[in-house]
Structures are given as structure tokens and as C-alpha cells.
Amino acid sequence: MNSEFIKAAKKQKTNHVPVWYMRQAGRYQPEYMKIREKYSLFEITHHPEVCVEVTRLPVEQLGVDAAILFADIMTPLPSIGVNVELTSGVGPVIDSPIHTRADIERLGELHPEQDVPYILDAIRLLREQLEVPLIGFAGAPFTLASYMVEGRPSRDYHKTKALMYSDPQGWKILMDKLGDMTIAYLKAQINAGAQAIQVFDSWVGTLNNEAYHTYIAPVMHRIVSEIKSTYDVPIILFGVGASHLITEWNQLPVDVIGLDWRMTFDKARRLGVNKALQGNLEPSLLLAPWEVIEENVKRILDEGMKEPGFIFNLGHGVFPEVKVETLQRLTAFIHEYTAK
Ligand code: CP3
């Protein structure tokens, strides 16, 4: 078993810098596109053997040091009464968005073994087959709420913030319910065999520090503490454009902070961040000539390797225009450059 990823997440010394990529399974892979001709994204996740195949594909193709379960942050929402469709070219679309206190109160509870057995079956199968650790994941309450309230991807999150600021009590009920869902979902994933967890709070960077502290930090604290009090499984927290929240994040009992490309590791350390760090190559660079990629990657590696506790990743997900060969070359380069 290759456990360099787990060691780095626990800030232990590694033989090389471990690497994986957000969205490492997806539309940039011809093999994935072939599977998508037959199955929608949610159909893939409802068929454990197909989900296993898609999850394993980048591990075998790229040689990365961790697998991430193939699912979506929207996966548990239908079970609590939120119907989601993944619309091509748009993203997640919700048929009846949350607007009122009654909408919030109507949300149900997640019972993972009954509601998402296919996810847990996929995890169990993956654990029998994988030789790298398996990362389970969930969306964080703010990011999930942003889709549930806006009804679709948004740039400004006005409706979500309006609810948060004008009905703080209703907002708290919403965060508590999504917090409960996330705790149940993550515990079930860990019980099924997930060896690390990434919590995606992709869009929380739209809030300032004060709003984060008041409206978000309590539920994040509860989720992470609940998991950490029961399981010795590293937890990674990631968001886009959230560098200003890094000191808030450093106070949560997470193990790893995932940075996007707007902040350097040196700067994060200067701000007092003492967790393991993950990231943070600007994904658009993957379309640049190799020499440009290499120069940027070396800078990240040189900074990241100054302390134990460094996992290489992109600053956000791989996108469809990226070539498989680029990620193969990048993975090999990182392993070679950082080998002891
Ligand atoms: O990383 C992996 O390889 C695991 C699979 C994974 C998916 N979504 C599959 C997916 C993971 C970890 C996610 C997380 C996710 N989903 C996030 C958090 C990460 C981030 O990007 O910030 C968010 C915000 C979502 C919601 C979501 N799902 C969006 C915005 C979209 C559309 C984006 C797009 O590129 O079109 C999806 C669809 C989706 N989820 C795809 C994949 C591979 C692409 C669509 C497809 O194959 O049809």
C-alpha cells in the first residue's frame, strides 16, 4: 500500500511528495467520455461497478498517490428532499429552490445505509482493489446551500446571502440540517472504508471574515470535531478564492488546508498556518507549454517541501481541455523531482 498521501496529511516525512488532482476523473479522459455515452453522471454513481471503474481510471492512468471516490457534492441532496439535475453546460440545477422558513423546515434527514447504499458499496469495492488511499468527500453546508437557495450556479450568491443576513435563525436551522447530513454522510463513508476526507467549501470565499466567523465557522467546527472525535482519518478543507479565510480555517480541527492558486505556501506559513497544505497549481497552466508548467511547478514544490505536510494538487479541478499526457508527465515529474 502506498501511504505517502496519508503520511503527508499527518505532517509526517514522505519518500516523495504525494500528488492527486481534484476532478482527476472526468471529461478530459477519452475513457470517461466513452462511459458517459452510456451513463449520466448520477447513473455512474448508482452503479458501484461503474463508479469503481471511473474512480480507478486516473489512478492507473496517471500514477497518482490517492483515489477520490467518484461522486458529486450534490449526491446526498435528493435524499433530504432536494431534487438536483446536473445540466450539461450549466452545472447543478435544483427544481424547487429553498426560499422560506417552511422550505428549510421541510428538509429531511440522511440515512446513508438506506439512502445512498450504492456509494458505500462502491467504497467497499474500491478498498478491496486499490493500492493507494481512498479519499471520501462531501460538500460543506455553505456551498451546498448556495446551490439549494440560488437554484443553479451563481456568481454573486445574493439570494443565499440575503437569507443568511435577513433570517439568521432560519439560516442556522439550514446549516444545522446540512451539518447533520454531512456528518452522517462522512461517517458512513469512513465506516465503509474511506481513508481520508475532503470537505469542499468551494464557494465560501464569497463571504468576508466576519460573516464566515458568525454564520459558517460554528457548523464547520461541529462537523470536523464530530468526525475527529470518532475517527483517526485526515480531513482536508478546500475552497476557491478563500485565502482571506485561511486563519479562520487554521483554527478548525482539520488536518490539511487546500489552497487555490491565489496564495503561496510561503505566505500561508507567514500568516501562521501550521496545518499540512495541499495545492496549488493554477489549472489553466495545464494548457501552457511544458517549460512554463515546469517552472511554476518547481516553485510550488520548492516552497511546499520546506516542511513535512505537503500534498501536491491543482488550485481547482482539472477541466475538459487538459490532455491526459500533460497530467501523466506532471505526476512523473513531481515524483522524480521530490524523491529522496
Ligand atoms: O474529483 C473527482 O474526480 C471526483 C468527482 C467529483 C465530481 N464533482 C464529479 C463531477 C467531485 C469531487 C466533485 C465535487 C464538486 N461538484 C464540487 C466541489 C469541487 C469544485 O469543483 O469546486 C462542486 C462545486 C460540484 C458541483 C458540480 N458538479 C458542478 C459545478 C458541476 C459542473 C461543472 C462542470 O465542469 O461542468 C458538476 C458536474 C460534475 N461533477 C462533473 C464531474 C466529473 C462534470 C460533468 C459530467 O461529467 O457530466
List pLDDT tens digits, range 306-330: 999 999 999 999 999 999 999 999 9
Lookup result for grid cell 496519508: 6
Model confidence pLDDT, tens digit, residues 274-309: 999 999 999 999 999 999 999 999 999 999 999 999
Strand partners, 279: 312
Question: Distance (Å, rounded) from C-alpha 47 to C-alpha 53?
Answer: 10
Model confidence pLDDT, tens digit, residues 251-264: 999 999 999 999 99
Model confidence pLDDT, tens digit, residues 75-101: 999 999 999 999 999 999 999 999 999
Query: Is residue 25 in contact with ligand 1, taking CB distance under 6 Å?
Result: yes
- pLDDT tier for residue 2 given thresholds of 50, 70 and 90: confident
Query: Is residue 70 in contact with ligand 1, taking CB distance under 6 Å?
Result: yes
Nearest CA to ligand 1 atom 5: 70
Q: Choose the CATH number for 4-338 among 3.40.50.10140, 3.30.710.10, 3.20.20.210, 2.40.50.140.
A: 3.20.20.210
Nearest CA to ligand 1 atom 13: 72
Q: Please check the confidence at residue 139 and state whether its pLDDT lies above 90.
A: yes
Distance, CA 72 to ligand 1 centroid (Å)? 6
Count of Cβ atoms closer than 10 Å to residue 151 Cβ: 16
* Ligand 1 probe mutation, 50, 53, 57, 73, most atoms within 8 A of CB: 73
Which atom of ligand 1 sits closest to the CA of residue 26? 43
Question: Distance (Å, rounded) from C-alpha 299 to C-alpha 136?
Answer: 29
Q: Which residues contact 85 (CB under 8 A, 6 or more apart)?
A: 92, 93, 94, 95
Instruction: Delimit the domains of the chain by residue range.
Output: 4-338
Q: What angle do CA 250, 200, 240 make, to 5 degrees?
A: 75
Query: Is residue 86 in contact with ligand 1, taking CB distance under 6 Å?
Result: yes
User: How confident is the model at residue 70, as a pLDDT?
Assistant: 98
CA of 260: how far to CAs of 174, 242, 291, in Å? 27, 8, 21
23 is catalytic: yes
Query: Is residue 75 in contact with ligand 1, taking CB distance under 6 Å?
Result: no
Distance, CA 192 to ligand 1 centroid (Å)? 22
**Which of 35, 36, 50, 120 shows the shortest CA–CA distance to 79?**
120
Count of Cβ atoms closer than 10 Å to residue 244 Cβ: 14
Which SS3 state, helix, strand or coil, does residue 201 take? coil
Question: Distance (Å, rounded) from C-alpha 120 to C-alpha 76?
Answer: 12
- Annotated catalytic residue within 21, 147, 185, 215: 147
**Which of 239, 82, 206 shows the shortest CA–CA distance to 149?**
82
Average pLDDT, the chain: 97
Nearest CA to ligand 1 atom 7: 72
36 is catalytic: yes
Distance, CA 19 to ligand 1 centroid (Å)? 19
Which atom of ligand 1 sits closest to the CA of residue 91? 32
Tell me phi and psi for residue 87, to 5 degrees.
-95, 130
SS (HEC) of 69-89: CCCCCCCCHHHHCCCEEEECC
DSSP state of 253: S
For residues 139 and 200, the answer to whether their CB atoms sit within 8 Å is yes
Which SS3 state, helix, strand or coil, does residue 290 take? helix
Question: Distance (Å, rounded) from C-alpha 98 to C-alpha 103?
Answer: 5
CA of 175: how far to CAs of 188, 230, 241, 307, in Å? 20, 21, 21, 35
Distance, CA 26 to ligand 1 centroid (Å)? 8
